[in-house]
């Protein structure tokens, strides 16, 4: 029997009907949380997710919103509270990348990446924290960041910049929110087998090169990131805040050994 150590908790996961967000929403629900699955498009995927969660004995609901529009993001928080009575766990997961360099990133690319990856995490943190303070009892804010909050990735400059911002958001806001009993942690995945890395999965040469750079020899599965998120959301992580946890298979420490 799966231990439901999040029973009675209410969670929001943004960008949650695909990839890492989907795995996190499903894992939190499996652990007993009532989960609000935020999504921007493909409502049919969300419906399938929620049906599967409920069939497994969990509880979840969908909340369509573009998290770069702050009124819509606030509405997701309001929907969680009106439906489930409170908010205990906020997972700022929505993200994208353009894989463009500093020389060829357009203003439109820049705005899109920073709005989704950083602005939504900043105000998702603000809106969730205000609700947590209002209701009392503290809470957990989890940002799905990246190894690239600290580790350069040439030709993906705006993405790295956005994740570097998320790093300092967590460090600074985590200190500000600590007196309220709200902890804040980044989870920094390395390469994960999700649609964002489909270019590797479909190209054996690229995939072999990537796997060779990872000490564990493979990309992560989304579930391996989700299990870290469930731990961070649990009482077992009650003394971890204003920092990042990397789940990267050791890639940040890899070396050619020259």
Cα dist from 160 to 97, 146, 195, 197, 232, whole Å = 9, 8, 19, 16, 23
40 three-state secondary structure? coil
Under 8 Å between Cβ of 56 and 82: no
- From the list 39, 84, 110, 159, the catalytic residue is 159
Q: d(Cα 27, Cα 183) in Å, to the nearest integer?
A: 20
Tell me how far apart the alpha carbons of residues 61 and 241 are, in angstroms, rounded to a whole number: 28
The torsion angle over the Cα atoms of residues 81, 162, 199 and 190, rounded to 10 degrees, is -80
Strands 89-92 and 243-247: unpaired
Q: Is 159 a catalytic residue?
A: yes
Q: How many Cβ atoms from other residues are within 10 Å of residue 224's Cβ?
A: 16
Active site members:
159
């Amino acid at each position: 029997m799966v231990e439901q150590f999040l029973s009675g908790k209410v969670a929001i996961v943004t960008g949650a009907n695909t990839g890492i967000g989907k795995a996190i929403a499903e894992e939190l629900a499996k652990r007993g949380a009532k989960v609000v699955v935020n999504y921007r498009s493909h409502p049919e995927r969300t419906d399938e997710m929620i049906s599967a969660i409920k069939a497994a004995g969990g509880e979840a609901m969908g909340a369509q919103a573009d998290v770069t529009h702050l009124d819509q993001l606030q509405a997701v928080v309001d929907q969680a509270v009106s439906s489930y009575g409170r908010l205990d766990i906020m997972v700022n997961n929505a993200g994208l990348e353009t894989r463009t360099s500093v020389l060829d990133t357009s203003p439109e690319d820049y705005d899109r990446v920073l709005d989704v990856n950083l602005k939504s995490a900043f105000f998702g943190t603000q809106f969730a924290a205000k609700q947590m303070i209002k209701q009392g009892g503290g809470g957990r804010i989890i940002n799905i960041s990246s190894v690239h909050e600290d580790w350069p990735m040439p030709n993906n400059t705006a993405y790295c910049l956005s994740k570097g911002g998320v790093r300092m958001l967590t460090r600074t806001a985590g200190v500000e929110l600590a007196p309220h009993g709200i902890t804040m942690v980044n989870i920094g995945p390395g390469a994960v087998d999700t649609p964002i890395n489909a270019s590797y999965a479909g190209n054996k040469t690229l995939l072999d090169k990537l796997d060779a750079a990872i000490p564990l020899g493979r990309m992560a599965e989304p579930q391996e990131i989700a299990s870290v998120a469930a731990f961070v959301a649990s009482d077992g992580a009650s003394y971890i805040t204003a920092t990042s946890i990397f789940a990267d298979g050791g890639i940040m420490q890899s070396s050619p050994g020259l």
